[in-house]
A = this chain, B = another copy of it.
Amino acid sequence: MTVQPVLIDGQWTISAGTSTFQAVNPRTREPLPGRYPISPWAEVVRAIDAASRAAAIVRDWSGDRFAAFLEKFADRIDARAAELVEIANLETALPVQPRLKDAELPRTSNQLRQAAQAARDGSWSVPTIDTAPNIRSMLRPIGPVVVFGPNNFPFAFNSAAGGDFAAAVAAGNPVIAKGHSSHPSTTRLLAEEAQLAANETGMPAGFIQLIYRTSHDDGKRLVSHPAIGASGYTGSRSAGSQLKEAADRVGKPIYLELSSINPIYFLPGAIREKGSALAEQFASSCLMGVGQFCTNPGLVILKSGTESEDWIRQVAERFSAAPVGTLLGSSVQTHLESGIQTLVSHGATVVTGGASGGGAGFCCQNTLLRVTGAKFIASSAALQTEAFGNASLIVVVDSDAEFVAVTQALEGNLTGCLYSATNGSDDALYDMIVPILRQKVGRLLNDKMPTGVAVVAAMNHGGPFPATGHPGFTAVGIPASLKRFAMLQCYDAVRPHRLPAALSDQSPNSSIWRLIDGQWMQGDVPGK
């Protein structure tokens, strides 16, 4: 079987690596066609060098040029949608419809187009001009960006096409994509289209590159290499923490999305008002995509009582009645099993499910667990172990004080949701919980499940550690996500002809917003 080439310095090239791997069809557990290389360090260095050359070439390009590439790439993805969806389905077992074809692929090309618009407009870079002292600053490209994609979004978070990729490119940076080993063919197809789009729009060689796998040590060397500007990583907490440590040690920004169990509070009045509807909504959100979402609700907090017991019974019935989906891969099943085991060994009991199997390929029964508030508080670290997949833990608390104590014990999360009565009967409790919860979650929701992540300017797909590595940034939502891949560059008395266009007296376009002498405005510096 031929080994697939890597994309380095503008060329699809035979890898120098002698080790290879194959993806596995999660439904059949059989290897899929296509052998992919593990790149040795020398090959990674070639990619870094090429990315550095590309960064030097594009450094002063206007946003229009990055926008043209992103839009061409989006069009190419849409044009190859059928093949992409077919391959991604084989590699991930995610359903073709509605998931891959109707939701994730259009979202992916839409993200690229939104990023293009942000690049063209330029307002994301916060151009700031103080005319009296003649000091000007803006966010500018940070340098080559390494993107590590996760397993669970083969398109929308793909290292060669997803949100981090779009943000890094729109901010003006070359990307070295490190594909996820579970879907290399999907990634290869996307990178093929990216490279063709790059050629068609005049991007330099090395602007977009793809390697499939490295040793763990080489991954650490990559994110901490002097020529790398920043990295984006979405994946497991253990691997991500190692990369973070390596990057932190040399002060290289790395944006991570590591672990989140996304607590949902169903306050007593809400259960009374619409318990059945909420049981349906919750079960559906929790089992969607076999629970393999970053924002999957893995933790529920409920007040003890007969209504809650009835609610738990309803959810359990839905869990056991629902078909068991196929997980993304062998390691997802293993981690889910061990996550459930950790929860059980620290006092959680299985309400339904809990065992492997029940469906096709890699799978595990739809699993609902429960634990008392007291036990949760006593073993809060272990009971926040992420059981990534179709499992959720219900914490049944005995009092309002326990609601508060459980909240105080929570780690950082991407989201936190509260369902409360419409008649105000839960408001006092809400007001006890939210001041604590608010500091621990990036996105607070009311009366709504967290699994939908709208790609809009106000979205925050971020949150305190361990949800991410820094609570000031978001991985989804344009233009804010671009700021991760930029550095603040100030020009102090720099001669006018040497300024970036966005900092000149003349505005480079009619839409860019600039903060000029303390006022946001579009257009030229007044009086110039």
Task: Find chain B residues with CB under 8 A from A456 CB.
Answer: 130, 133, 135
Q: Are A486 and B472 in contact (CB under 8 A)?
A: yes
Q: How far is the CB of A413 from chain B (nearest CB, A)?
A: 12
Q: How far is the CB of A184 from chain B (nearest CB, A)?
A: 30
**Complex formed: what's the CA distance from A480 to B446 in Å?**
31
CB contacts under 8 Å to B, within A428-455, are: 430, 434-435, 438-439, 442-448, 450, 454
CB contacts under 8 Å to B, within A402-426, are: 412, 415
Q: Are B489 and A130 in contact (CB under 8 A)?
A: no
Interface membership of A310, Cβ < 8 A: no
Task: Find chain B residues with CB under 8 A from A59 CB.
Answer: 435, 438
Q: Are A252 and B446 in contact (CB under 8 A)?
A: no
Q: How far is the CB of A286 from chain B (nearest CB, A)?
A: 18
Interface membership of A469, Cβ < 8 A: yes
Q: How far is the CB of A171 from chain B (nearest CB, A)?
A: 11
Interface size class of A (residues with CB under 8 A): 35 or more
Copies in the complex: 2
- A251-B470, A460-B488, A488-B462 known; A447 and B139 CB under 8 Å? no
- A454-B135, A460-B489 known; A520 and B518 CB under 8 Å? no
Interface membership of A21, Cβ < 8 A: no
Task: Find chain B residues with CB under 8 A from A434 CB.
Answer: 498
16 residue pairs A–B, Cβ–Cβ below 8 Å: A123-B520, A128-B457, A137-B459, A142-B439, A245-B249, A251-B464, A251-B465, A251-B466, A251-B469, A253-B472, A434-B498, A448-B492, A459-B490, A460-B488, A464-B487, A472-B488
Apart from A59-B438, A137-B460, A474-B490: 6 A-B pairs, beta carbons within 8 A: A135-B459, A244-B251, A250-B465, A442-B487, A446-B493, A448-B492
**A residues lining the B interface (CB < 8 Å):** 56, 59-60, 123, 128-130, 133, 135-137, 139-140, 142-143, 229, 244-245, 248-253, 412, 415, 430, 434-435, 438-439, 442-448, 450, 454, 456-460, 462, 464-466, 468-474, 477, 480, 483-484, 486-495, 498, 513, 515, 518, 520
